[in-house]
Structure 1
Amino acid sequence: MSTRPRHIAHLDMDAFYASVELLRYPELRGRALVIGAGSAHEPVLQADGSRRYARLRDYTGRGVVTTSTYEARALGVFSAMGLMKAAKLAPDAILLPTDFTAYRHYSRLFKAAAGAIAPQMEDRGIDEIYLDLNDQTDDIAVVAQRIKDAVVAATGLSCSIGVAPNKLLAKICSDLEKPNGLTILSEADIPTRIWPLPVKKINGIGPKSTEKLAALGILTIEQLANCDPAVLRANFGRIYSAWLMRVAQGIDEREIVTRSEPKSISRESTLERDLHAKLDRSELSALFTRLCERVADDLVRKEYLGRTVGIKLRYADFSTVTRDLTLPAPTNDAQAIRQAAGECLRRVPLDKRLRLLGVRITSLSKPGAVPSTIVAQGELFAAEQL
């Protein structure tokens, strides 16, 4: 690890989507609240001025939890869980639809507030950022609290901040004292504050690796740090095992990346019920076209063109297939995207019922950019589409 003192902050908004909804519906504070339904579950304003909310127990469909309040998490309801499964754990939880327009609005507000204090910012998504605090002259704890206060003033929402010598440790720290936490860590604190944590706390060690490490008797970061490197190489290969050894020691030399370009733009929809390509042709066709139009709208809004169109199908048995097609020239036109996506459909089996449909576009470029030589991967022609 570099001997030069570094102060990198990871700012993570607390239960972001749910917290935005609580600004709109403050009477739900302290309640188990789940976000993830469709527009049919909007609250209903009653004659006496009160609102009637949908309950999780009344939900039927294939949706998943987008996020939940800490009260719902205490009942076992977490992001990416199926709503039907969540209903068994917290049947009385309030259910609200997602509102990404509002979430993006508050995302812009909190990032502007933090960036006014620490301009060297790496955007990591709608609810989290990294900040380089190395140029700050005030005490780091004071600066971090100032950022937290600025976020509250701009949005009415709380965040948790972890400050550490690098991005790896800062991200771990931001989760240690949630919600509304502020954790500052030095290299000397690694053995006492990081090593006792489970290995899954390291960003990049997923469920499969966690399970594999557990089979080797490695449950904590300290056990990983003290593991024989030869054992890790034998089980994880040379490259990943070397990375495991470094992160277990708290080593991460990545710099703050202040600008990054998206690699793809995609839209997908989990179906409320399994649909068949032939028996439900009109319904699927309308959804497929709508997904293509939303991808095109995203391209226009973000000022990008895309060249490689792809589709994603997930069948009722949870098997998934993808197909791609590269166009002769970049585009943001919904009709061209729809035509290419339809051609991709010709190359996948459509004899089984579907539970998810997705459209994406990659090979992104800015309008006016000079493209490299393009070789089409297949002739684009009119296809029999859904």
Structure 2
Amino acid sequence: MHAPERRIAHLDMDAFYASVELLRYPELRGLPLVIGGGAHQPVSAADGSRRFARLRDYVGRGVITTATYEARALGAGSGMGLMKAARLAPEAILLPVNFDAYRHCSRLFKAAVAGVAATIEDRGIDEIYIDLTDEPGETRALATRIKQAVKDATGLSCSIGVTPNKLLSKICSDLDKPDGLTILGMDGLAERIWPLPVRKINGIGPKATAKLAALEIHTIGELAGADPVLLQEHFGRTYALWLKDAAHGVDARAIATSSEPQSISRETTFERDLHARGDRAALSAILMELCAQLAADVRRKGYASRGIGVKLRFDDFQIVTRNLTLAEPTDDAAAILRAARECLKRVPLERRLRLLGVRASALSPRLPEAAGAPRGQGELLLWGEGA
């Protein structure tokens, strides 16, 4: 007896952060709205109305976390600098991020889905995979039930793609946004998937997209028909084989129900470029704060870390990372800071910096603390000290 064809769903909340904000500020519905940057809270007037910041008035180095579809239509999108977005959509409303509200809605929608389907893979604050293979019911009816459950629990819409695997479902959940439902079998590959640009495949980033374009490979269908030898020459054997499989919709990955994080990180983009010498005190304070926040995150999640890393983005947008493996796992802010400083010693710091981040990896469940053991009381050395 043959096993049933897999039914894997990818659920992606629609413009999640912006949609959560619209629950609080319904008067902004239908307007271009971007989320990001610093403290530009709405101001309430005496008559009960609210005055919102406009993108045209923003000054700084922040980036867009998300945007409504109306803002996206004007060219403003996630990851774009707010100053650049202001030139494209000056009248767009600007709101700061509110992660407490987003995490609350995230928990609500995931609990709602769990009430319909048992096997779920958590992929972040606004997306999950769902294995519907063994769930009773017709696929469209089942997916519609999930969408309605999410709507009832949060007041928000989501888009779902259902296919035989995770790779295709991830693509399909984006095809009919917002509030979309796309169901696709392998027989629909040529019609719905192959005309799409190669970047729609999760795992083909900007560099690979540019290299494929140089080979006159722009669509997924062109990738599917590409010469395997040519791909291997330019990408190496392993990645070339994956590219061919992905273009043909091949993906055997199972739904991973474990929610163990691989890493935890904190980073910040500066309002102005900073230099390791001229802005030593400011960078020292920022690094100390990031390490303290990271240590608190690691402890709150019940972990200790053996891998500490730093991430720097320079004024020319080059990104550099350095990592260090500790002898023992830690969740101590001072220990994380010392390791971060050791990483920084291995980076030439002649250029000005736009961004600084710290990362904890190689996570393991934290053992109970020894009674009376002090935490986070080690010496917090200054940026560049001892280098």
Q: Taking structure 2 as the reference length, what is the TM-score of the superposition?
A: 0.91
RMSD: 2.0
Alignment of 1:116-131 (within 5 A): 116-131=115-130
Report the equivalent of 2:149.
150
Structure 1: where are the runs of 5+ without partners?
A: 370-379
Matched, 1:36 2:57: no
After TM superposition, give the deviation of residue 52 of structure 1 in Å: 1.0
Report the equivalent of 1:385.
383
After TM superposition, give the deviation of residue 350 of structure 1 in Å: 3.9
Using a 3 Å threshold, how does the CA distance of structure 1 residues 32 and 129 change in structure 2: closer, same or farther? same
Report the equivalent of 2:272.
273
CA distance in 1, matches of 2:169, 2:293: 35
Report the equivalent of 1:237.
236
Aligned with 1:361: secondary structure? Answer: strand
Give the counterpart letter for 1:20 in structure 2.
V
CA distance in 2, matches of 1:207, 1:323: 22
Aligned with 1:30: secondary structure? Answer: coil
Using a 3 Å threshold, how does the CA distance of structure 1 residues 314 and 198 change in structure 2: closer, same or farther? closer
CA distance in 1, matches of 2:306, 2:229: 44
Stretch deviating more after TM superposition (265-274 or 337-346): 337-346
Give the counterpart letter for 1:315 in structure 2.
F
Contact residue 10 and residue 173 of structure 2 kept, 8 A? yes
Contact residue 343 and residue 383 of structure 1 kept, 8 A? no
Using a 3 Å threshold, how does the CA distance of structure 1 residues 232 and 313 change in structure 2: closer, same or farther? closer
CA offsets 1:13-66 (integer angstroms, 9 cap, x no match): 000011011111110000000011112x11111222111111111111111111
Report the equivalent of 1:164.
163
After TM superposition, give the deviation of residue 164 of structure 1 in Å: 0.6
Contact residue 305 and residue 367 of structure 1 kept, 8 A? yes
Stretch deviating more after TM superposition (268-277 or 324-333): 324-333
CA offsets 1:223-259 (integer angstroms, 9 cap, x no match): 2222222222233222122112112111111111111
Report the equivalent of 1:352.
351
After TM superposition, give the deviation of residue 265 of structure 1 in Å: 1.2
Aligned with 1:252: secondary structure? Answer: coil
Aligned with 1:262: secondary structure? Answer: coil
Give the counterpart letter for 2:15 in structure 1.
A
After TM superposition, give the deviation of residue 123 of structure 1 in Å: 0.8
Give the counterpart letter for 1:110 in structure 2.
F
CA offsets 1:201-231 (integer angstroms, 9 cap, x no match): 2111222222222232222222222222222
Using a 3 Å threshold, how does the CA distance of structure 1 residues 128 and 279 change in structure 2: closer, same or farther? same
Using a 3 Å threshold, how does the CA distance of structure 1 residues 238 and 90 change in structure 2: closer, same or farther? same
Contact residue 346 and residue 385 of structure 1 kept, 8 A? no
Report the equivalent of 1:286.
285
Stretch deviating more after TM superposition (78-87 or 220-229): 220-229
After TM superposition, give the deviation of residue 276 of structure 1 in Å: 2.6
Give the counterpart letter for 1:156 in structure 2.
G
Stretch deviating more after TM superposition (141-150 or 304-313): 304-313
Alignment of 1:309-348 (within 5 A): 309-348=308-347
Report the equivalent of 2:20.
20
Aligned with 2:187: secondary structure? Answer: helix
Report the equivalent of 1:100.
99
Report the equivalent of 1:299.
298
Contact residue 280 and residue 383 of structure 2 kept, 8 A? no
CA distance in 2, matches of 1:352, 1:205: 30
Report the equivalent of 2:112.
113
Using a 3 Å threshold, how does the CA distance of structure 1 residues 324 and 214 change in structure 2: closer, same or farther? closer
Contact residue 107 and residue 127 of structure 1 kept, 8 A? yes
Report the equivalent of 1:85.
84
CA distance in 2, matches of 1:322, 1:232: 28
CA distance in 1, matches of 2:126, 2:287: 29
CA distance in 1, matches of 2:166, 2:328: 38
Using a 3 Å threshold, how does the CA distance of structure 1 residues 314 and 244 change in structure 2: closer, same or farther? closer
After TM superposition, give the deviation of residue 153 of structure 1 in Å: 0.6
How many equivalent residue pairs?
Answer: 374
- Runs (4+) off by over 4 Å: 380-384
Aligned with 1:31: secondary structure? Answer: coil
Aligned with 1:321: secondary structure? Answer: strand
After TM superposition, give the deviation of residue 342 of structure 1 in Å: 3.2
Report the equivalent of 2:363.
364
Stretch deviating more after TM superposition (197-206 or 97-106): 197-206
Report the equivalent of 1:372.
none
Give the counterpart letter for 1:177 in structure 2.
D
Contact residue 287 and residue 383 of structure 2 kept, 8 A? no
CA distance in 2, matches of 1:247, 1:321: 29
Using a 3 Å threshold, how does the CA distance of structure 1 residues 16 and 102 change in structure 2: closer, same or farther? same
After TM superposition, give the deviation of residue 382 of structure 1 in Å: 8.0
CA distance in 2, matches of 1:74, 1:234: 39
After TM superposition, give the deviation of residue 3 of structure 1 in Å: 7.7
Using a 3 Å threshold, how does the CA distance of structure 1 residues 346 and 223 change in structure 2: closer, same or farther? closer
CA distance in 1, matches of 2:228, 2:345: 48
Report the equivalent of 1:374.
none
Aligned with 1:219: secondary structure? Answer: coil
Give the counterpart letter for 1:202 in structure 2.
I
Report the equivalent of 2:227.
228
Matched, 1:10 2:21: no
Give the counterpart letter for 1:13 in structure 2.
M
After TM superposition, give the deviation of residue 325 of structure 1 in Å: 3.3
CA offsets 1:184-210 (integer angstroms, 9 cap, x no match): 111221122222222222111222222
After TM superposition, give the deviation of residue 183 of structure 1 in Å: 0.8
Give the counterpart letter for 1:323 in structure 2.
R
Stretch deviating more after TM superposition (311-320 or 296-305): 311-320
CA distance in 2, matches of 1:64, 1:164: 34
Aligned with 1:177: secondary structure? Answer: coil
The sequence identity of aligned pairs, in percent, is 64
